[in-house]
Amino acid sequence: MASPHVAGVAALYLSQGGLNTPAEVYTALQSKATKDAITGLKGTTPNLLVFNSNHVYYNMVGFRTLTFGSLVAILLTAQLTEAQIVDVSNKYIVKIKEGADSNKVDQFLKTKLDQYNRGRSGNNGLKNELKSKFSLESFNAYAGTLSQGLVSELKAHGDVEYVEAEQVFTISGVQTNPPSWGLPRISQRARDTSAPYNYPDSAGEGVDVYIIDTGINVKHTDLGGRATLPVSFITGEATDDLNGHGTHVSGTVGGNTYGVAKKAKLIGVKVLSGSGSGTTSGVISGVNWVAEQAKKSGRKSVANMSLGGGNSEALKQAVNAAVQAGVTFIVAAGNESQDACNVSPANAAQAFAVGATTISDTLASFSNYGKCVKILAPGQDITSAWIGGTNASKKISGTSMASPHVAGVAALYLSQGGLNTPAEVYTALQSKATKDAITGLKGTTPNLLVFNSNQ
């Protein structure tokens, strides 16, 4: 009965990509296992308990939106949502150095693309082409399909900062259980989850909150006609939310019943497909679009990113540039019970990463931790809007659920006036947070629980 658990985990690892030989799979199984959890061992038996998440393995292709996928899911064989994996073979992000002559780089790329495509037989038939170009503050980059020879030349080019292989963002499993409790917790200094939810009359009015996710069920009655889904960076499927994750996040940010900021405008930015997957360049395209739209509108703006995974310099720099452009970025810290500084976008210097707490005011067992976490919020067993109907709802857990609580509070603060920059919002969130209420913290995680009043 034990062996098939490990065989299944090996299949999960292989399906995520990046592992090609039995030896690599064996190494991953041992390096990602939970250490020193088992008692009563005999002889030299290793104290390693199999763990089902390999998505921070450095060379693998696998980011996840941050819903709860814990060790318990293996031990209890809970049902998990399996995501399709997008093929990102030979796809790269090319980051241009700050201050470089973009026209010079454009010409170099055009010349090299023509050169390599004339000799495609030497590229195993691969067509080199650029799919996207990003230009946001100091973040200037290209995304495209490139052969190994061209990648090597680009890495050696004096105006190229780095070439990063594309990664994939995917949905992990969800856990359904008790009723939600997050709203009363963030409006009370002392824990009383039976108390009413108190919030300012402004309720986020006049603030745009961008949900960078799987889309939004804009017809859901709880969203009060305030939700739109104007853009998708996923090709080959409808713009609608076909997964549910983005709708759940939106409901927590601004739903009439489930939401923190009940008058905020909710703007969906679809960067993950119905199966829960999307590339780094797709996510960066969403970040870039948000920054441009916020600048055009001139309105106070917050972005929520309940997604993440292994370290990505390109994603970090894109988020930092969007913050420099004036957008407050609230992001999930991650669900691997590890240092949040290992994952992106939580480790972006100018993002505001959120860890998850439980109804008992403890750090959630799955939540990432450490100095890159800036604040904590309710994240276990949170009820919010869902897909499949205009009144659908679902209970799920994760730092994905914690982050929109904070994004909603940021919208409340901005609607009350007096705050004009992301840095000012971040300072207010931390200074007004409830101090020293959470137990079971790890590392240097700040003991700050988000609080929804800035008065």
Model confidence over 2-11: pLDDT tens digits? Answer: 666 777 777 7
- Cβ-based neighbour number of residue 176 at 10 Å: 12
169 pLDDT band, cuts 50/70/90, is low
Q: Given CA atoms 345, 346, 348, 354 in this order, what sign does their dihedral have?
A: positive
**Which amino acid does the sequence have at 162?**
Y
Are 273 and 148 members of one domain? no
Are 123 and 179 members of one domain? no
Are 44 and 159 members of one domain? no
Are 48 and 14 members of one domain? yes
Does any domain span residue 33?
Answer: yes
Domain boundary among 165, 182, 213: 165
DSSP letter for each residue of 272-305: S-TTS-EEHHHHHHHHHHHHHHHHHH-SEEEEEE
Are 158 and 184 members of one domain? no
Does any domain span residue 66?
Answer: no
Are 243 and 389 members of one domain? yes
Domain boundary among 129, 150, 165: 165
The answer, yes or no, to whether residue 98 has pLDDT greater than 60, is yes
Catalytic residue among 53, 147, 213, 273: 213
Does any domain span residue 76?
Answer: no
Catalytic residue among 180, 400, 403, 415: 400
* DSSP three-state, residue 209: strand
Does any domain span residue 77?
Answer: no
Mean residue pLDDT of the chain comes to 85
Are 341 and 408 members of one domain? yes
CA distance 244 to 251: 11
Are 248 and 279 members of one domain? yes
Give catalytic status of residue 208 as yes or no. no
End-to-end CA distance of the chain: 57
> Of the ranges 273-287, 342-356, 357-371, which one carries the lowest mean pLDDT score?
273-287
Are 247 and 269 members of one domain? yes
Provide the whole-model pTM.
0.76
What pLDDT, on a 0 to 100 scale, did the predictor assign at position 299? 97
CA distance 286 to 270: 7
CA distance 390 to 102: 48
Give catalytic status of residue 245 as yes or no. yes
Asked whether the beta carbons of 339 and 56 are under 8 A apart, the reply is no
Catalytic residue among 55, 220, 245, 405: 245
Main-chain dihedrals φ then ψ at residue 448, nearest 5 degrees: -130, 115
CA distance 430 to 446: 9
The answer, yes or no, to whether residue 269 has pLDDT greater than 70, is yes
The CATH code of the domain that includes 242 is 3.40.50.200
Asked whether the beta carbons of 286 and 279 are under 8 A apart, the reply is no
CA distance 170 to 308: 9
Count structural domains, the chain. Answer: 3
Are 31 and 11 members of one domain? yes
Are 265 and 406 members of one domain? yes
Give catalytic status of residue 220 as yes or no. no
Cα distances (angstroms) measured from residue 275 to each of 126, 220, 221, 378: 27, 20, 24, 26
Are 97 and 31 members of one domain? no
Say which residues have a Cβ less than 8 Å from residue 323's Cβ, sequence separation at least 6: 329, 350, 351, 422
Residue numbers of the domain that contains 134: 91-165
Main-chain dihedrals φ then ψ at residue 369, nearest 5 degrees: -150, 180
Residue of 82 and 370 predicted with greater confidence: 370
Residue of 172 and 92 predicted with greater confidence: 92
The 10s digit of each residue's pLDDT in 386-412 is 999 999 999 999 999 999 999 999 999
Rg (CA), the chain: 22
Does any domain span residue 84?
Answer: no
Does any domain span residue 69?
Answer: no
The answer, yes or no, to whether residue 66 has pLDDT greater than 90, is no
What pLDDT, on a 0 to 100 scale, did the predictor assign at position 85? 43
CA distance 77 to 248: 24
The CATH code of the domain that includes 155 is 3.30.70.1140
